[in-house]
Amino acid sequence: MALASSPASDAPNHPLAVRMGVVAGVSHNLVIGLIMGSFGLMLASVEDRLGVSGEAAAVGIPLTLVGSSVLAPFVGVLIAKVSLRLLLLAGALLAATGYFTLAFTQSYALYLVAYGLLFGPALSLAGSIGPATLVTRWFNRNRGLALGIVHLPIVIAIVPWSLDRALTVYASTTLYLFMGVLIAVLLVPLTLLAVDHPPTAETLAPEPAEKRTADGSFSVAQLLARPRFWAICLAAIASMTSSVMLGSLLVPIGVSWGFARSEAAILQSIMAAVGILGSILFGWVADKLGGARSLALIAFNCALLWTVLLMHPPFAATAVVVGLIGMHGAGAIPTLGRGLSDSFGQASYSRGFGLSTMIGLPFIGTAIIGSERVFSVTGSYDLAITSIACFFVIAIFLGLYGATGAKLQGPLAAPAEAI
């Protein structure tokens, strides 16, 4: 087995790395952007067409998120064992099938199948774990920045605006059909351009060969047994939890502070818009500081920002704070990716990212439901905000601990697959 004489981060990227980044970026954006960006605008049409209540129609996205998160560890293991190209293709086909199902069905049961059994797996395979793994395998230099660029929320920012206008002209079934065709015509052939592994090298788990799996990675049990894995994951989950909680509840939180609903909606737009910058910025920071240290930096800054929110500042100041929180939250994915691959090797990334997705689900769910419960009891979100700030204080030390210990041990010998 060949070993590198220089750190893996100094190794040049293969010429095909940019192509893999394009495949990953389009896959991530189309799958997540269309599913998440279209859902809210299509709810009214779902109620009318299927004859269900708004609450029943709204089950779709939670069902997708639960399905994706529960499947994530298994997808992470599958990606380490099966052709990533085929799994990206499978995710694209599942997403297209989901939209075709929504376009033609009159059944609420099939509506739930589309979101839970089609979009859920598609989200893991072709929306999150698959694309991020492809980038992590192919980028040595500027890996964090590449992850940040791939995760730019471009489509999800465009879809609500364009779909709102399209609904004034076309039926919802036509738009579902269009989204399915778009994925089938654009994404399905694009995934066939993906190459599973670079012909040069991937970094191994920093353990003796007899303690690694056949592909040079940690097993799920080995990752879960390592405190540093938990430290890195929980440091990232603090940021993800805060972003989802604030993004989901910003309008009611803003109204509780005395802002008009329209002003609170502006805050939500600011948070999303500034988040685009954060994905690139913290991807770059992760390349300079390392993933775990960058997570500690994000946690330190966010602990301060969430503490400022407790002071209920005026609208202009709140807009700045919320924008900065959005920027830091968007940086969690590239910094987590850099941290996992730095500490456990590129070969272990898919397993690690899949596990972190599942581990984060109860934190995110508790934050959203718990915040609403706190408000219903106390009439204020202050206790929920304090809890998030405390979580970030803990995350500072988790990130710093995650940055300690052994790093990369050298690359995996070139795989046999031809490009």
Q: How far apart are CA 114 and CA 402, in angstroms?
A: 38
- The CB-side HSE value for 70 (13 A sphere, CA atoms) comes to 10
The number of angstroms, rounded, from the C-alpha of 286 to the middle of its chain's C-alpha atoms is 16
Q: Of 110, 108, 95, whose CA–CA distance to 38 is shortest?
A: 95
Q: Which residues pair with 411 in a beta bridge?
A: 203
- Sole residue written with tokens 């909606």: 265
The number of angstroms, rounded, from the C-alpha of 376 to the middle of its chain's C-alpha atoms is 30
Q: What is the pLDDT of residue 412?
A: 46
Q: How far apart are CA 121 and CA 100, in angstroms?
A: 16
Q: How far apart are CA 76 and CA 196, in angstroms?
A: 14
Residues with Cβ within 8 Å of 82's Cβ and at least 6 positions away in sequence, in order, are none
Q: What is the pLDDT of residue 373?
A: 85
Per residue in 264-286, is it b (16+ CB within 10 Å) or e — as a string?
A: bebbbebbbebbbbbbbbbbbbb
SS3 144: helix
User: What length does the chain have?
Assistant: 419
pTM greater than 0.85 (yes/no): no
What are the pLDDT tens digits along the chain (419 aa)? Answer: 333 333 445 578 888 899 999 999 999 999 998 998 888 778 888 888 998 887 788 788 888 888 888 888 888 888 878 899 999 999 999 999 999 999 999 999 999 999 999 999 999 999 988 998 899 889 888 888 888 888 887 887 788 778 888 888 999 999 999 999 999 999 999 999 999 888 865 555 555 555 556 556 677 888 888 899 999 999 999 998 898 888 777 878 888 899 888 888 788 778 877 878 888 899 889 888 888 999 999 999 999 999 999 999 999 999 999 999 989 988 888 899 888 888 888 778 888 888 888 898 889 888 888 888 888 889 899 999 999 999 999 999 999 999 886 555 444 444 434 34
Q: How far apart are CA 265 and CA 254, in angstroms?
A: 8
Q: What is the pLDDT of residue 204?
A: 55
Q: What is the pLDDT of residue 200?
A: 67
Per residue in 179-217, is it b (16+ CB within 10 Å) or e — as a string?
A: bbeebbeebbebbeebbbbbebbbbbbbbeeeebbebbb
Q: What is the largest CA-CA distance in the chain?
A: 65
Q: How far apart are CA 320 and CA 270, in angstroms?
A: 9
Cβ contact 348:407 at 8 Å: no
The number of angstroms, rounded, from the C-alpha of 195 to the middle of its chain's C-alpha atoms is 22
Q: What is the pLDDT of residue 313?
A: 93
Residues with Cβ within 8 Å of 234's Cβ and at least 6 positions away in sequence, in order, are 359, 394, 395, 398
Q: How far apart are CA 171 and CA 175, in angstroms?
A: 7
DSSP 241-285: HHHHHHHHHHHHHHHHTT--HHHHHHHHHHHHHHHHHHHHHHHHH
